[in-house]
Structure formats: structure tokens, C-alpha cells
Structure 1
Amino acid sequence: MRGGRNAISSRPITLVIGGDNPVRFWGLTNAERIRRLATAAGVLTDRAPVTGDAILWADTAFAFDPAWFAHIVKNPATMLVSGGRTVLVHLPAGSDPATTPGDRKGLTVIDYDQRPILYNHRLRKRECPFVEPLTADTAEETERRSYYGAYKGVTDILTKYLWPEIALGLTRLAARLRLTPNMVSFIGIALCIAATFLFAGGCYWTGLACGFLFMILDTVDGKLARCTVTSSWWGNIIDHGVDIVHPPFWWFAWGWGTAATAHPLDGRPFAIVLGMILGSYALQRLIEGVFMRRFGMHIHVWRKFDTDFRLITARRNPNMVILFVSLAAGRPDLGLVAVAWWAVASLLVHALQFVQAYAWRARHGALTSWMEQAA
């Protein structure tokens, strides 16, 4: 790899790994995990440092959140310590490769024991990312912390509160079986397609079983990618592409399947309901995309209300809760009608958020996420 340029100097950043920890973490040695983090960050891993290089030194005795690695890479002359020991240090260009990692002279020291807070833009959350000694006794709990650290801070209510423990077990199983995130994604896609046809045939309970398992695997593939540091451009395209494309097919299939029930939703009512759902879905996505371009942040992270509303806004998972309840009540047709009205209500909330953002910028200047303000 030929990247890893220091923000201050034109010299490359070269990785130096300290120690040789045999304990495996998500099926990897810690040295291999650190190398993957370095490669993803553009840090050179294929040569020894020479005088004049910037150096990124990492201790394999510790497991740490990728957010710490990214933070230290971006901040030369910065050291992360835990329990008095150096975990990560970025020695700036011009450093002697033989410099002792424990030498703090001229460095900004971040003490993990003080629980410093970082704002993770990618995962949209503010937290103190984990740092833990990696031993045979701590490996399982440290994997748990790594897994939960890979969760987005702003997401829907099912992903945030219902899936985590189920998805953790499946993520561990996938890692042990050496499955790649894309393999998990393709298993999920097969279940997603099966759910669509089952809904269309009126086999709602079986379809829901396939659909909910797909929704869980939709969490697992992303967590597996982050925990094993195997994210890829194609993986992100597949994951996000399927997320955007499949919901309209589910809603259409659900309505079509009501023809096999005692309360069919057909003709003009079906067209109106489907139009409400699809129109609101498309416009809501459009508002989110334009908001990102205009204001440089996700619409869901501007204010605390926006973050809280993301839990229940009319996306796939909250909509599936509505459909599940309606099916349990014996009226899948009314469930789709309820989804339509909730989609319209969510669109109106998003439109109001958009207008309020423009008004705020006109009066106060650039928008800042409440998470960054609190960090």
C-alpha cells in the first residue's frame, strides 16, 4: 500500500507493532487486526521505519476500538495510555525509529483512565471508545465491547434495543466459521427475496420469519465487517443498495398478499395506500440526501429530537413492527394502511426539520450536531 501521509509532513506513517500477543480477537491475532486497521487508515505496514518517518506504534497487549486508531493516526505527537502503559502513539516525522514508546516528552497524552469522549462521525455517536488488556480471560468480554462499539448511535428501535444480543451470537459464529461479511449479506439477500414472495402469496408468518432473520443478518454483516476490519467498497454498496431497494417490494408484496385473506386490499384503495408509502419513502430519502449535501451532516444528528425520532421514523424496521401487530390482530390489510399514514407523518416531520435547518442557518450560521456540542 502506498498511502499513509502525515498530516503535517510529506513523510509516510509507518506501523510498528509492539509485542507478540497469541490471544485471538474475532478469530485474528491482535497483530493481524492492527495491521488491518493500519491498512484501512493508509498506514504503511510492509517495511521497517527509517529516520524521518512518522511512526504509529501499537501494543498488541491491548485491544482497542478502531476509533482510537483513527484518532491517533490523524493527530501527530499524540499518545494514548491506559493504566500507565502506552497503547498507541503517533511519533511525528523526524522521530528516531528507536525512540522508546513510553517517552512522553513533547507528546499530547490522552489518558484512557479519565474516560475521554470522542465523536464518531461515521457511526454517529459520542462515546469513550474501549481500550482493554487482551488476555485469554478478557477476550470474550472484549469482543462484546468491540461488537457494541461497532453499533451506530443513531438507528431504529429494533436495531438499537432488540437485535444486539442475537446479532452478537451470530457475528461470533460467522467469525469462527471464517465467513466474510459479503457471504452473510448474500444469505440475507436470499432470505429477503424469499420473504417478498411469501408476502405476495399471503404466507405472512413464514415471510415475517424470513424477513426478521434477514433484518438481523443486515446488522450482522456490518458488525462482522467492523469487528474483523474487513469493510470493503463493494460490501458497502451491496449492503446499502439492498437496504434502499427492497422495502418498496415488501410493501407491494404485503398488499398483494391480502388477496388471500378475508380482508383483501385491492383496486383503488391498494393503489392509494401504496402510493402514499412509496411517495413518502422516496421524498423522505430525498430530504435526507439533500440535507446531508446542504448542511454537511445527517438529518438525524442535528438535534436530540432528530436523533430520538430516528428510532421510530417510517423506515423498514419500525414499519415491520406495525405489520407484525396488525397480523397478530388478524388484519394485515389495516397494517399496510397504518404504515401508509405513518410514512406520511414521518415525511411531514422530515420536511419540518429541513425548513427549520434553513431558518437556523439564516439566523445563526452553520449547523452543529448536538453530539459534537456535548462532546
Structure 2
Amino acid sequence: MATGFIGTGGDGTRVFGLDPATRAGRFARAAGLVAGEGTDGTIVADLGYGWDPAWLGWLKTRPGTAVTIAGFPALVHRRAGATLDVPADAEIRRVEDGTSLYNATLRKRDDAYLMPLTPATAPAVERASYDASYKGVTDLLTLYLWRGTAFHLTRAAAALRLSPTMVTTIGLALCVWATLLFYRGHFLAGLIVGLVFMVLDTVDGKLARCTGTSSKFGHLLDHGTDLIHPPIWYWAWGIGLTAWDLAFAPGVLWTILGLLVVGYVVQRLIEGAFIGAFGMHIHVWRLADSRFRLVTARRNPNWLVLLASVIAGRPDWGLIAVLAWTIASCLFHLVRLAQAFAARARGAEIVSWLA
């Protein structure tokens, strides 16, 4: 059984450089829909409207449902064999009433957007699409500091016809450059280059989601880089302290780096264990977990710690502070994992507060 997808209408207004049919077709394939009529019903979309891809997943399980805007059926899941796009007994969901959808991948609950798509409204559709692609639970820098900047960079990358993998590759080159700068003790310059890399690390994912161009290779390259480089940065930082006459004794440095790596790995293992046991990220279990994700010992919050240490003229303190915060974060997540298992043992259902 398969649900089909058909896009109709529209004036060809482009969003992120893509014509509506191409973009909608990519979203449909990502949602597991087949082009044309489906044996298990067909979702018919009016391409004169810009809509959240989340609608497709929501409609897929709701044959006989129409999503309307100002009384017009913009998205309809037509039952198999139906002769009318919107049958008399259709369930109507008015977009004006709001439809809050939980997106487990992006760790958030948002009202799905749907709005007219014309040359005049295209910028608003692009902004809505970008916001819909943004993770709801992440670190404070990604969520607040460069969100607007990353939007404009995402639009620019689309206009230049850069693929997400190209953006990731540019970011990887900057990551290597930052590592070299840290190694030579040019900490402030390295942090600035690293900041640009961190912004591009946001752009590639948003570009992929907004243009429907996610790929397994791009995902592997992006997340592989994210997993591997933080410990290398800390090693380079430790070596670079020599240029400031603040170098740790070799045994002390390798002890710090070893504990950092262990803490980094343990924190990732705890997160993986929570997903394996409860089917969701530890950061979305309770509101407190989502709040702690803003500052937990990941690369971006640690960047702030290192920056503060350079401003204070003691970059050696930065490495020690990152280690201390890594250990604290590990303990927090370990306690939360234990509490989740204890709650389930008492018969409680472990579900996300967002769900």
C-alpha cells in the first residue's frame, strides 16, 4: 500500500531557488509518498500555497482530511477511489485554528505553517520554512545568537546553488583552520574562525531541510565532523598554551585531555542509552532537560567558556573550566538517566513533555 502525492496550481513562485513542484516533490518523497495516484489514497497539494512539510506526515495517516485556509482546501488527503478532491464527509482542519505538531527529529512542537505563495509573500514563506526547520531544543548560541544570521546565509547559499554538502565542506576547512590557530596559540583568531564554522554548521542542516536535499553522505559528513573535532580542538588548545607561557606539564595536560575525552564519550553514551531505552532524546524528557541542553557541555557552550578565559588572559583556565563543566554535565545526565529508569520501574510512562 502506498499514499500518492499530486501537486497542482501555483504561479511558479520560487522558494529558496526552487520551483514549487520540485520542492514539493522532494518533501513528498521524504515523507514516503509516491508520485501520482496512490493505492492507499492521494494527498493533493495546491502549489499556490507554501506549507510546512510536517503537514504531509500528519495527513498521511488521515485519509479523508482537508486542510483549509480562508475556506480553501490547500491540502487534501483524498481517499483511494474517491471522485471528488474534497468529499462531503471530509474532516476539515482550518489552519486558522492552529495545528500544533510534535517533531521528534527537531525536538519541538510548533504550529505548522500554511500561507499563500506569491512573489510578494515568498520572503515570508522562506522565513516560515526556515523557522520550521530549526531545532527547538539545542544550545543557547544556536537558538539565540546567530539564528537570524544563519537564515540570511541559508538564503544566500540557496541563491548560489550551493548544496548542503558544499557548505559542510567549507565549514570543515574552517574547522581545520581553527585547529591550527589553537595549536599555535592564536586563541582569539581561532575562536573567531571556529565561530564562523559553527554558524555554517547550522546553515548546512537548514539548507538541506528547506530545499529537501538531505543525503546520507551529507548527514554522515556533518555529524561525523561534529563528533570528532571537539576533542581535537581541546588538544590543540592545550598545545597552544606554550605560546602564552601557560603550558601544563605533559602529564597534567594528557590527564586533562584524557578526562575530557572520557567525559565527552560518556555523555554521548548516556544520550544514546536514553534513546535506546525510551525512544527519544534525553534533552526532551522534561522541561528541565530541555533547559539544561542550552548550556550542557557541548562545543558551542564550551566555546563561550574558552572565549571568557582568553578575555581574562588565562586560556589555561578555559581548558580546566571546560573539563569541570563536562564532568558536571555528565553527572547531571547520569542522574536523569537513572531517574527515568526508576520512574519506569514505578510504572510511569516516559514521554517527552513536548509530546
Give the TM bin, normalised by the shorter chain.
Answer: over 0.9
Instruction: Give, in whole Å, the separation in 1 of the partners of 2:223 and 2:61.
Output: 27
Asked if 1:235 is matched to 2:218, the reply is yes
Instruction: Give, in whole Å, the separation in 2 of the partners of 1:38 and 1:224.
Output: 17
Q: How does 1:189-268 map to 2 (within 5 A)?
A: 189-268=172-251
Matched to 1:153, the amino acid is: G
Asked if 1:32 is matched to 2:22, the reply is yes
**Coordinate RMSD, CA, aligned:** 1.4
Instruction: Give, in whole Å, the separation in 2 of the partners of 1:222 and 1:317.
Output: 16
1:302-354: CA deviation from partner (whole Å, max 9, x where unpaired): 00000000000000000000001111111111011000000000000011001
Instruction: Give, in whole Å, the separation in 2 of the partners of 1:291 and 1:245.
Output: 21
Q: Conserved in 2, the CA contact under 8 Å of 1:304 and 1:370?
A: yes
1:267-307: CA deviation from partner (whole Å, max 9, x where unpaired): 22212221221111110000000110011110000000000
Instruction: Give, in whole Å, the separation in 2 of the partners of 1:348 and 1:168.
Output: 35
1:60-93: CA deviation from partner (whole Å, max 9, x where unpaired): 1110111112211232222211111111111122
Report the number of matched residues: 355
Aligned to 1:358: 341
Instruction: Give, in whole Å, the separation in 2 of the partners of 1:19 and 1:176.
Output: 24
Instruction: Give, in whole Å, the separation in 2 of the partners of 1:187 and 1:235.
Output: 13
Shift of 1:42: 2.5
Q: Conserved in 2, the CA contact under 8 Å of 1:303 and 1:370?
A: yes
Q: Secondary structure at the match of 2:127?
A: helix
Aligned to 1:170: 153
Instruction: Give, in whole Å, the separation in 1 of the partners of 2:145 and 2:113.
Output: 22
Aligned to 2:127: 144
Q: Conserved in 1, the CA contact under 8 Å of 2:43 and 2:78?
A: yes
Instruction: Give, in whole Å, the separation in 2 of the partners of 1:309 and 1:56.
Output: 40
Asked if 1:41 is matched to 2:31, the reply is yes
Matched to 2:51, the amino acid is: F
State which of 251, 263, 271 in structure 2 corresponds to 1:280: 263
Shift of 1:104: 4.3
Shift of 1:19: 0.6
Asked if 1:89 is matched to 2:79, the reply is no
Instruction: Give, in whole Å, the separation in 2 of the partners of 1:149 and 1:308.
Output: 20
Q: Secondary structure at the match of 1:314?
A: coil
Matched to 2:152, the amino acid is: G
Residue range with higher mean Cα deviation, 303-312 or 67-76: 67-76
State which of 21, 36, 43 in structure 1 corresponds to 2:11: 21
Q: Conserved in 2, the CA contact under 8 Å of 1:276 and 1:341?
A: no
1:110-143: CA deviation from partner (whole Å, max 9, x where unpaired): 2110012111111110110211111111111221
Instruction: Give, in whole Å, the separation in 2 of the partners of 1:308 and 1:77.
Output: 39
Instruction: Give, in whole Å, the separation in 1 of the partners of 2:249 and 2:64.
Output: 66
Shift of 1:53: 5.7
Asked if 1:114 is matched to 2:97, the reply is yes
Q: How does 1:319-334 map to 2 (within 5 A)?
A: 319-334=302-317
Q: Secondary structure at the match of 1:247?
A: helix
Q: Secondary structure at the match of 2:45?
A: strand
Instruction: Give, in whole Å, the separation in 2 of the partners of 1:239 and 1:269.
Output: 32
TM-score (norm 1): 0.92
Aligned to 2:106: 123
4+ residue runs of structure 1 moved beyond 6 angstroms? Answer: none
Q: Secondary structure at the match of 1:194?
A: helix
Aligned to 1:5: none
Q: Conserved in 2, the CA contact under 8 Å of 1:276 and 1:343?
A: no
Matched to 1:212, the amino acid is: L
Asked if 1:67 is matched to 2:54, the reply is yes
Instruction: Give, in whole Å, the separation in 2 of the partners of 1:89 and 1:266.
Output: 67
Q: Conserved in 2, the CA contact under 8 Å of 1:259 and 1:266?
A: no
Instruction: Give, in whole Å, the separation in 1 of the partners of 2:71 and 2:102.
Output: 24
Q: Secondary structure at the match of 1:217?
A: helix
Aligned to 1:296: 279
- Consecutive unaligned residues of structure 2, counting only runs of 5 or more, are none
Q: Identity of aligned pairs, percent?
A: 46
Instruction: Give, in whole Å, the separation in 1 of the partners of 2:60 and 2:182.
Output: 48
Q: Secondary structure at the match of 1:81?
A: strand
Asked if 1:312 is matched to 2:295, the reply is yes
Aligned to 1:349: 332
